[in-house]
Amino acid sequence: MKITENKVWLKYYSQEALNDKIPQLTAYQYLRELNSDRLDEPALHYYGVDITHRQLIERIEECASAFVALGVKKGDIVSFLSVAVPETIAAIYALNKIGAAANTIDPRMDIKTITNMINAAESNILVTIDVAFPKVKKIMSDITPKTIIVQSAADSLPFVKKVLVKMATKTKIEYSDSLMKWKDFLSKGKGVKAVEVPYEGDATVAITYTGGTTGIPKGTMLTNDSMNAVVLNFKHCSVERNDNDRYLGIIPVFSAYGMVCGMHMPMCCRLTLVPIPKFVPNTIGKLVIQFRPQIIISTPVFIELLIGSKEVKNMDLSFLHTLASGGDTMNEGLEAKLQQFMVEHNMKYPLAQGYGMTELSAAASFCANDIYKPSSVGVPSLTTTVSIFDPDTGEELSYNEIGEVCVTGPSMMKGYFRAKEETDIVMRKHDDGKVWIHSGDVGYIDDDGFIFIKGRIKRMITRFDGHKVFPVNMEGLIAGRENVKNCCVIGVNDKEHSQGQYPLAIVEFEGDIDRDSACVEIFEYCDEHIEERGKPVAVLSVDEIPLTGMGKNDVKALEKIYADFDYTSWKANK
């Protein structure tokens, strides 16, 4: 039986949930409606300052008027080179109110990429955080915006903290009529009325960019309906939450994951968002102590840093009832360590793994509370249909059959920004008349509706004899070994045949150990526990595995470094 003929996962939803619909509201209208009875409750908690929903709405309205005064109208795109400060959050909703869109760019990008992203959007306005201004200064003559607005992470801080932050910021800026401070931008809107546009489901709210791990980053157009669908899905996903529970926002707002799951969803779900403008991974333990959040959604690498943090080593974490992971596959070894950590620290529920893509507004499935299976990324969310297709024939498969994971539903992006050919590769109409996102991930769905991801199609390591090796399986085995902090398995070119690759294991250790001996021990352990054709040809130790900006192992960088690694010499020396 084909999976879509019997969506077994619907058994996890109440009749009320199944009858619920995506509202015909803009993202901003949905935020207002869901919090209309709690205007004086905190929407944001920003380093000791509570910003209520009433105050946030006032900021959004003020910001919308200022954009209108500068000539922004429906269909325009304003570019952002900024982070999750309250000003950016208000600006994104302000643009949504007047029918414009935010083009959100990672400030860590190189200046050539930043220039291209700004110019492709044909933005007349650029909003930048002050610490990114040195990059902006270098490209001012090459970009389209005529007006540049500068924010500071200190703008919403109390006076004493504001002074300290500004003293620590060494950026010197000579302001002018076209290069203005945030407060001067807001003053432009005094006496101006910003008219709210009517709801359009497919109107673009934001352009966020893919990670670029498989090529040049592409802009994904997130819409009112795609973002609001994720909110609706979380409302009915059984994650325990109470009004004003704190949600630690450590995922960058310029990503789809941060924009939707890290900003729009928590505030719409009546949580208090604790935005962290500049997340330094090794400080995650300090942030948990400082803000005592009830909910954290993060990536496997950042969660691994949390369980290794000395700050929470002996701490009772019962206040943190939901720890969720997405953005990348978590291997079985890390998951086992994490579950043990959660039990030892009195956390109420097991790890809530999820699955999603930038192209799906970040979220498509979840584990929540008792809806959980080890190694699974959960069941499809309420409005989402997930199925498995044969990547060669396109035939839909049945439960427990491995193939490409494909997803359809209202959380899908509108498409890649001005890139129809690339859009058509990922978004394909099937014989059922529906458009499906082709994830490029390999996996299966079991009889209970739980999804299991085995790896990327492009990450499959194909040997000379055609046998396929999935790196995630070996990574899970290695990650469970003592003193292993992180590991990544890549394909290296076969030295003995004209085609094919073999798996190479790259390991980052922790503690003061003999790393060469540890590599040999892992190699021998793999030799004993992995079937013959899936064994690694070598195990290498590195000081640090490189990460992408989203905290994923940078597989592409490692493949470049080690593609022609001479594993025969490694074996000879061992």
Could you give the C-alpha distances from 446 to 72, 380, 400, 531, in angstroms and in order? 49, 12, 5, 24
User: What does the alpha-carbon distance between residue 255 and residue 452 come to, in Å, rounded to a whole number?
Assistant: 24
Q: Report the candidate in 97, 62, 101 with the shortest Cα–Cα distance to residue 79.
A: 101
pLDDT in the model for residue 572? 65
Contacts of 142-148 with CB under 8 Å at 24 or more apart are: 142/115, 143/115, 143/118, 143/119, 144/118, 144/119, 145/79, 145/118, 146/178, 147/70, 147/178, 147/179, 147/180, 148/178, 148/179, 148/180
Give the contacts of 135 (CB within 8 A, at least 6 positions apart): 81, 107, 111, 114
Q: How many CB atoms lie within 10 A of CB 53?
A: 23
Closest listed residue to residue 63, CA positions, set 182, 158, 218: 182
Task: Decide: residue 73, CB within 10 A, 0-12 exposed, 13-18 middle, 19+ buried.
Answer: exposed
Spell out the domains of the chain, with CATH numbers in brackets. 1-17+238-456 (3.40.50.12780), 25-198 (3.40.50.980), 459-573 (3.30.300.30)
Rounded to 10°, the helix 471-479/515-529 angle is 120
Asked if 249 contacts 273 with a C-beta cutoff of 8 angstroms, the reply is yes
Please report the pLDDT score of residue 160 as a whole number.
45
Q: How many CB atoms are located within 10 Å of the residue 358 CB?
A: 24
Residue 332, token pair as written in the block = 């079985």
pLDDT at 499: 74
pLDDT reported for residue 163: 46
Report the distance separating Cα 382 and Cα 483, nearest Å: 40
CA distances from 128 to 76, 125, 150, 180, 452 (A): 17, 10, 5, 11, 40
Instruction: Name the pairing type of β-strands 246-249 and 204-209.
Output: unpaired
Q: What pLDDT does residue 166 have?
A: 53
pLDDT of the residue at 168: 53
- Please answer whether residues 554 and 543 qualify as being in contact, where contact means their C-beta atoms are separated by less than 8 angstroms: no
Q: What span, in angstroms and rounded, lies between the C-alpha atoms of 314 and 129? A: 37
Position 255 scores a pLDDT of 93
Q: Residues 464, 500: contact at Cβ < 8 Å?
A: yes
Strand pairing partners for 324? 297, 352
Question: Per-residue confidence of the chain (574 residues) as pLDDT tens digits?
Answer: 899 999 999 999 999 999 999 999 999 999 999 999 999 999 999 999 999 999 999 999 999 999 999 999 999 999 999 999 999 999 999 999 999 999 999 998 889 999 999 999 999 999 999 999 999 999 999 999 999 999 998 888 865 455 445 545 667 899 999 999 999 999 999 999 999 999 999 999 999 998 644 457 899 999 999 999 999 999 998 788 899 999 999 999 999 999 999 999 999 999 999 999 988 888 999 999 999 999 999 888 788 888 888 899 889 999 999 998 887 777 778 888 888 999 999 998 888 889 999 999 999 999 987 888 988 999 999 999 999 999 889 999 999 999 999 999 999 999 999 999 999 999 999 999 999 999 989 999 999 999 999 877 777 788 877 777 878 778 888 988 989 999 999 999 988 876 789 999 999 999 899 999 999 999 999 998 888 888 999 999 999 999 887 678 888 899 989 988 888 888 767 6
* pLDDT at residue number 46: 96
Q: Which residue has the tokens 């999820």?
A: 354
Output the pTM of the full model.
0.83
